[in-house]
Amino acid sequence: MELRLDGLHHGYGPVEVLRGIDLDIPAGRIVCIVGPSGCGKSTLLRLIGGLELPNRGSVIQIGEAPPDSLNPLTYIFQDFALLPWRTVEGNVRLVLEDHGFGRDENARIVDDVLARTRLSEFRDAFPRQLSGGMKQRVAIARALSVSPEFLLMDEPLSALDAQTHELLMDDLIDLWTRERFSAVYITHNLQEAVRLGHRVVVLSRRPGTVREIIEIDLPLDARAGHTRELETHRQHLWRLIRDEAQAAELELVDG
């Protein structure tokens, strides 16, 4: 299954947020979207996953998701969005309960994803007992439990401190290397974009349009050894974004 964004326009009242976004999102790869703050990245992700309807244009799904994918388009949120009154296990089970598998099958799936994210020993902890990094791993486990075709991630690591950030980044690279999931990954961190993205889409400032798309062909697990090449990509991205970011900054100051 692939996704195609076809002439997406969106805005709120008089504010035009996205203007004419055309984009192909392939399977089995991570597409990073970067752009200055307020350019409509989060809005774009909500449109892609069907949480909001675009004013014009459409998000098209090409091919069917396999029947065992319970929730083909699955989000991972910046603020984790865990239910504080449910334990780790309960938070994962929440998204399975509506599928009518029965207790045993639910427990099997929960055990499986908790093991895959190395959370098994924390299954009875409440979110308040977990650090930010652990919370995001629970959110990742929850997302994996519904066998998504696409993971839609909105700055999943930006609420974390620098060290946790690095650790989770390695986790994500591991996970991708094992499972080859497809993802749209929003970030404002260019370092993240060049380490995780097979394709990096640069948006202009509001109203957001696609400014440039770069492809990074290095395999994810080999990137640690190619810092120079990544740095070149990063600097290229930064040059693209810097002017936009400065202009956007001034816009915000003006209100």
**Binding at 40: pick from ligand ATP, other proteins, Mg ion, none (beta carbon under 5-8 Å per type):** ligand ATP
Report whether 210 contacts 23 (CB < 8 A): yes
Window 41-80: residues binding Mg ion (CB under 5 A): 42
**Binding at 85: pick from other proteins, ligand ATP, Mg ion, none (beta carbon under 5-8 Å per type):** other proteins
Window 2-21: residues binding ligand ATP (CB under 6 A): 12, 15, 17
Helix, coil or strand: residue 249? helix
Q: Which of 40, 54, 57, 148 forms a contact with ligand ATP (CB under 6 A)?
A: 40
**Binding at 128: pick from Mg ion, ligand ATP, other proteins, none (beta carbon under 5-8 Å per type):** other proteins
Residue by residue, DSSP assigns 128-194 as GGS-HHHHHHHHHHHHHHT--SEEEEESTTTTS-HHHHHHHHHHHHHHHHHH--EEEEE-S-HHHHH
**Binding at 75: pick from ligand ATP, Mg ion, other proteins, none (beta carbon under 5-8 Å per type):** other proteins
Q: Which of 1, 20, 42, 86 forms a contact with ligand ATP (CB under 6 A)?
A: 42
User: Given the rule CB under 5 A, which of 4-12, 34-42, 63-71, 126-134 is the region that contacts Mg ion?
Assistant: 34-42
Q: Which of 187, 147, 155 is nearest to 77 (CA)?
A: 155
Positions in the binding site for other proteins (CB under 8 A): 49, 51, 70-71, 73-75, 77, 79, 81, 83-86, 94-95, 97-98, 126, 128, 142, 146
Please give the Cα distance from 90 to 76 (Å, whole number).
Answer: 17
Let me know how many helices (H) and strands (E) the chain has, helices first.
7, 9
What residues make contact with Mg ion under the rule CB under 5 A? 42
